[in-house]
Amino acid sequence: MSGTDENSVRNGVGRMIPAYIEGYGKTRPYQTPFSEIPTGKTGLRVPLGTGGPATPKLCASIREALEKSGLKSGMTISFHHHLRNGDAVVNMTMQACAEMGIRDLTLAPSALFPCHAPLRDYMQQGVIRSILGSLNGPIGEHCSEGHFTTPAVLRSHGGRCRAVMEGDMPVDIAVIAAPESDAQGNCNGVHGKSACGPLAYSAVDSQYAQKVIIVTDTLVAYPCTPMAITQCRVDHVVAVPSIGDPSKIVSGTTQIGSDPMQLKIARLASQIAWHSGLVREGFNFQAGAGGISLAAVKFLGEIMAAKDITADWANGGGTPPPPLRYSPR
């Protein structure tokens, strides 16, 4: 990654960026918000799972599902992070890959957490070649310490969706942890012993991955409802004893802020929302799952209670609800 003019290009703020990065490829340095407009998207895959309840999809193990999906060395596997630090599916999948003798995989998780520390061993063994996703805990430290042989690529959640849809990050196999599913792959995250809420992060993977595997620890009779992901997007289903520990969903950024500066920012944000005039009877809003956002929602709830304002609906992450007043219509 030389910084000479011969193999570098200048980005929008005047910094010289390598024109090519080994293990990543040709770069496209940022210039302006609209200097590069996306042009189309990759086609939706044609899934196997279009049959009725008689179509066999249930596999005895994650390994069997991977084998039936045609897993080969060098492929890309994706995961979601709705279970956050309680997830067990990523580690189970990588163990199966190692046992199969698979190497040089690219992982495309929406995020990794301290519970995924075992991935360091799989990287050292050559099972994993690169990771395209948000890195927290030991895996983030492993990257910062220079142990990755290829650059880690971090994207926003929306940017990740765009990358999958446009083909910048093609996914060969999506392994989706689902708290409840039937044998055809109709599944959701709101029921089951490991309920985590929405399965929104994996929606794009279920549509664009070449193969989709649902891993669940609550297998129910057909049809499973509600259907966050439908059977027509699913190739294989695996029932395991546990997909993770939902009690560890509230961890890291999903814990309400306690730092004085974070709380000050949160309180100011709630006051700005109030003075904007938009916080009124029947309004609706969306909040993130970060510590500052959660604190801002708490302070906004206090304002709503004091002003006797009831919201129509609120949209947020998979964290325990703050003390809000709402009235579904």
Higher per-residue pLDDT: 108 or 261:
108
Distance CA 206, CA 203 (A): 5
Residue 48 has pLDDT above 60, yes or no: no
Q: Which of 18-27, 55-64, 85-94, 289-298 is the least confident region?
A: 289-298
Check residue 220 and give its pLDDT.
97
What is the C-alpha to C-alpha distance for residues 178 and 294, in angstroms, rounded to an integer?
A: 25
For 193-205, how does the pLDDT look when each residue is reduced to its tens digit (9 = 90+)? 999 988 988 999 9
Q: Enter the pTM of the model.
A: 0.78
Tokens of 274: 């109030």
Decide: 11 and 17 in contact? Cβ < 8 Å: yes
Residue 3: pLDDT over 50? no
CA dihedral angle for residue 213, residue 218, residue 219, residue 224, rounded to 10 degrees: -90
221 class by beta-carbon count within 10 Å (0-12 exposed, 13-18 middle, 19+ buried): exposed
User: CA-CA distance, 55 to 50, in Å (whole number)?
Assistant: 8
pLDDT for residue 35 = 78
Mean pLDDT computed over every residue of the chain = 87
